[in-house]
Chains A and B, each alone.
Chain A
Amino acid sequence: MKHLLNLIDGDKDIGRGNKFWAGFFLVLICFFLYPTFVSSFRASNTAFYLLNIPMGFGLCLIWGYCGILSFGHVAYYGLAGYAYGIIAGNLLGNSWGPILGVLGGLVVCTIISGIFGYFVFYSRIQKWIIPILTLVFTLLLETFFVQTSGYQWRVGRVLLGGFNGMTNIPFFQIGTFEFEGYSFYYYCLVIVLVLFFGLRILVNSKFGQIVIGIREDELRTEMLGYDIRFLQCVTFIISANLAGISGLLYVQWGNYITPSQMGILQAALPVIWCAVGGRNSFIAVIFATIVLNWLSFTLSSQGNQYALVIIGTLLVITMVFFPRGIVVMIFEKMQKIR
């Protein structure tokens, strides 16, 4: 237990020590109390910001910690969403349907990312090509799902739905309890928390250290006797599953998914969240994901057409003035002053 706490408090992410954790739990209490002050609708909207965080985590792990930029993590977001829709949709009425759907979604993510990762990492292609390959892969998936309109594109009784996407995807449920509104908000919050602590343990463990070694110098790490290709592949699969978790939460939240979730606009978003917050800090990614999603949601719901332009400008500002991410660099400044 003490060992685990030490790993959570390890130095591979910003934020350590009693003061930080006191602040962390204070904020956490606010998050837990938040639904008591707002309507179910508002809580559900905020849950949308939370449900994107796992995908941010996934990119943070593979890009920030392992040094491999994936520009197509939304592929796994979409695949998990569609897989859940197909499985849970076909088992409609069966209370085990959604749970099997979740498992199915993650299995699909693991298999596809495993195959993709195998070819990418074991063929020893150069690192800068990986963002392009991942982007092409997600665009291919988008193109494929766009053309799946019509009655012939169905799995069991679920229609893939082409450009308009898959609709009537069931809520997540355990037994007879369905997660929506307030309960969905808590469900997301708990998942984000569990993943946050799990990932802090992971990056501070031996595995995480080796992964950081691979980021710093692949050949040096390999020459210490590590099978770096296997480790890169495993990290890629973990991070794809994190994106998959976001995809599952998304379809459970909105009950639909369209191919544009795997499109180029969506593909850019997690990269922006990580870059703006700071790509090698999970806490920074939480921060950036919530704020940026809130920003674009608020701007676009007020009829502002410039949401993406504003987010893009923010990205440029970050890259010029805060190359390691706004949250991370502010945090480092604060520590220096102290």
Chain B
Amino acid sequence: MSMLTDSNQIIISTHNLNKKFGGIVAAKDVNLSVNTGEFRCLIGPNGAGKSTLFSLLCGIERADSGEIRILNKEVTKLKPFQRIKLGLGLKFQTNRAFQSLSIKDNLSISNNKIQVMDNEIAEERYQLALSEFKLKSEGAKLARELPHNMLQWLEITMILASFPKIVLLDEPTAGMSVEETLFTGSVLKRLNATGLTIIVVEHDMQFVKDVANKITVFHEGEIFYEGTAEEVSNSEEVKNIYLGRD
């Protein structure tokens, strides 16, 4: 933790971000800021706007109003690939590894080296994921032949292959067993310890409590609550929105 408090610098932030899909409010005055090296978890009921926020950050969706800053640079008008090149990596909610290509091809396509500086540490992170997730020996296999947990690990490793500074993981442990979830959490924590900023959308509260420095709770497109795992799990209001006791 000491390393984190030293680098108390905002790496990605939004300012009064708004997005509507027809009548549905997906983001309402969202002010999120994440520090360098932080492990942030976003939680909230289905449809609370967590995945939409990722889409807005990456530029897949354009915000109706508001501002997004990545590494102190205003990116609201940048195209998706230009934002990614600043050092973003996104794992989609539904796994989007290239199904009909081999693992080796999946990884070499991803090896974009978007980040020019700190290549060594980025390479280190990539190698860590590669060996922990045991993907090296499976190189010739097609992605679609992998079990679901391996597919999730493959997509996480693909993102690290592009040498990002910030990774956005949308439900990285969906469909995994308890042991696999715990293992994924431990690897992500080791990656985070190297200074990688990680933002995760996740429903598995055990996983969230295990990894997060700070939790942001979304509800109906708004930031509803922000705090440590302990604060969030003790909050009556958060319990209410999850159980629908509004």
CA of A227 to CA of B79, assembled, Å: 9
Number of A-B contacts (CB under 8 A): 55
Contacts of B98 in A (CB 8 A): 213, 216-217, 220
Whether A227 contacts B96 in the complex (CB less than 8 A), given A212-B101, A212-B105, comes out as no
Interface size in chain B (residues, C-beta < 8 A): 25
Q: In the bound complex, how far is the Cα of B29 from the Cα of A322, in angstroms?
A: 54
| Interface contact A225-B81, CB-CB below 8 Å | yes
Q: Which of B101, B108, B159 contacts A216 (CB 8 A)?
A: B101
A22 contacts the other chain (CB 8 A): no
Complexed CA–CA distance, A76 and B81 (Å):
31
Give chain B interface residues in 88-139, CB to chain A under 8 Å: 89-90, 92, 96-101, 105, 108-110, 112, 114
B114 touches A209 (CB 8 A): no
A29 at the interface (CB under 8 A from B): no
Pick the contact of B90: A206, A217, A223, A227 (CB < 8 A).
A223
CB < 8 Å neighbour of B109 from A209, A219, A227: A209
- A217 to B96, alpha carbons, bound, how many Å? 8
B58 neighbours in A (Cβ, 8 Å)? 223
Contacts of B162 in A (CB 8 A): 224-225
Q: Is B26 an interface residue (CB 8 A)?
A: no
CB under 8 Å from chain B, chain A span 225-268: 225-228
Bound-complex Cα distance A209 to B106 (A)? 9
Q: A212-B101, A216-B101 are in contact. Are A222 and B109 (CB under 8 A)?
A: no
Contact with A along B44-64 (1 / 0, CB 8 A): 000000000000001010000
Is residue B80 contacting chain A, with contact meaning CB distance below 8 A? yes
Residue of B nearest to A216 (CB): B98
Given contacts A210-B109, A212-B101, A224-B112, contact A219 B96 (CB under 8 A): yes
Does any Cβ of A come within 8 Å of B84's Cβ? yes
Known A209-B109, A210-B109, A213-B109: A226·B81 in contact at CB below 8 Å: yes
Residue ID in chain A nearest B164 by CB atoms: A225
Q: What residues of B have a CB within 8 angstroms of the CB of A226 in the complex?
A: 81, 112
Tell me, rounded to whole Å, the shortest Cβ–Cβ distance linking B80 to chain A: 6
Cβ B60 vs Cβ A224 within 8 A: no
The docked-state distance in angstroms from the alpha carbon of A330 to that of B11 is 54
In the complex, A226→B84 CA distance in Å? 8
Q: Which of B58, B90, B110 is the most central at the interface, judged by chain A CB atoms within 10 Å of its CB?
A: B110
- Report the Cα distance A224→B89, complex, angstroms: 7
A183 at the interface (CB under 8 A from B): no
A296 at the B interface (CB under 8 A): no
Give the chain B neighbours of A222 by CB distance below 8 A: 80-81, 84
Tell me whether B90 and A221 are in contact (CB under 8 A): no
Q: Which of B96, B105, B108 contacts A220 (CB 8 A)?
A: B96
CB distance from A188 to the nearest CB of B (A): 34
Residues of A within 8 A of B101 (CB): 212-213, 216
Q: Shortest beta-carbon distance, B22 to chain A, in Å?
A: 21
B96 neighbours in A (Cβ, 8 Å): 217, 219-220
Q: Which residues of B contact A224 (CB under 8 A)?
A: 84, 89, 109-110, 112, 114, 158-159, 162
**Nearest 5 Cβ contacts at the A-B interface:** A225-B84, A225-B114, A213-B109, A216-B98, A220-B96
Could you write out 6 A-B pairs with CB less than 8 Å apart?
A209-B108, A212-B109, A213-B109, A224-B158, A225-B114, A227-B81
Chain A interfacial positions (CB closer than 8 Å to B): 206, 209-210, 212-213, 216-217, 219-228
